[in-house]
Structure 1
Amino acid sequence: MRLTEQQVRSLYGQDVQDRSGATIGSVGQVWADAAGEPTWVSVKTGVMGHHESMAPLQAARMQDDGRLQVGYDKATVRSAPSVETGTDQPLTADQLTQLYQHYQLQQQAPTRQPEQPPQRMRGGPEVVRSEERLRVGTETEPAGAARLRKHVVTENVHTAVPVEHDEVNVVHEPITAANRGDARPDIRDDQREMELRAEHPVVAKDQVPVERVRLDKDEVVEEEPVNAQVRRELVDADVPDRARRNR
């Protein structure tokens, strides 16, 4: 039976059933072969003190509820060669030979190079400790609108412009012997006119473009503090003093 690492971890402490469905005990430890494949389990039967009976995973299967069912009856498993509870030692060649003989299994032929003996797989009941990690980012939102609006205002303009006008001077010129030739006596009513000219200010308006006004924007980066709360899990192990390992 090929098991994933997660399935192997879930085996520890699970009930072990024989081929008829009767409960034999619970899984104590798991051993893997040289290729790392789980091959043997020890079963806590409750009748051998600090020893656990060995059972092969060959032809075994896991039930939907996590229990392990082996292809042997309860008596065969309980009478199988055993190991000490909590041992870290790999299975020896003699132990393997006894197990293969007990379960009437064909032992693999040795290769040219000696294989590593089956090792106990580390594992047991576990929990996954999780924690929250703060992920800070940004998102864009509307921040108003900038507008250009023009309107007409009226202003008073004060300036000055030079203007001309004619002024009349009355000139009296006496007649002398030198200029008398043009003067003829002529006593009567008479009238002469002279046209007079005068300027006055005239106002006209021209519309002239004077400047362009436009909106422009710059992106400004600022540091803004972010305060948030994250949760994390702490794991406490409640182990009886007799079972606690001192390190």
Structure 2
Amino acid sequence: MRLTEQQVRSLYGQDVQDRSGAKIGTVAQVWADPAGEATWVSVKTGVMGHHESMAPLAGAGMAEGRLRVPYDKATVRSAPAVESGTEAPLGADQLAQLYRHYQLQQQEQPQRRPGAPEMTRSEERLRVGTQSEPAGKARLSKHVVTEDVHTTVPVEHDEVRVVREPITAANRGDARPDIRDEQREMELRAERAVVSKDQVPVERVRLNKDEIVENEPIDAQVRRERVDADVPEPARRRR
């Protein structure tokens, strides 16, 4: 997988997927061969503490800002690892272990041309990662509050009305003249509102946590060296 300089820089912090599309972790560091070609990345999986699993870029591809490698998640997570933040180049033994783990044919390192004057041009690479830190606590608290409730309830009560009927020839047989003091009673009933309270469950409340991934812009400055060749005009190569 040949990557441009811009693509190499964009690898840092990008998601790494296995061949089925499952997320393995994120790119932490990038290694290049002596020719400057990006060949290996370390993957921060979150399960190895201060170590990062190594994965080859051979056969990998970029899609929608994600790096997909042609291996399953278990193979990458069980690969030889490096310490987080290391700046040491990969040693011969490390490379041999990696090629054996991924069953790749180890490539010979390109040789420099003898006798030709040369210098090494260096530049700073921006290494962007993430660090988990506390962002506060979410709590559920239950408090008792009092609120006024206004409602109505129908109540019944007896009301008394006096009915007077004149004595006529039709009902005179039921009436007997009897002049004396007399008292009759009728029992009256009335309903009154009675209030009682029941405690009933009405709602279950819980806290759920979702992991949200956002792209946070990073602005930084990096230094690089520029090599200029000062060649006399007669010695310049003509095209």
TM tier, smaller: 0.3 to 0.5
Instruction: Give TM-score, length-normalised by structure 1.
Output: 0.46
Q: Please report the TM-score for the alignment, with normalisation by the length of structure 2.
A: 0.48
- Which protein is bigger by CA-based radius of gyration? 1
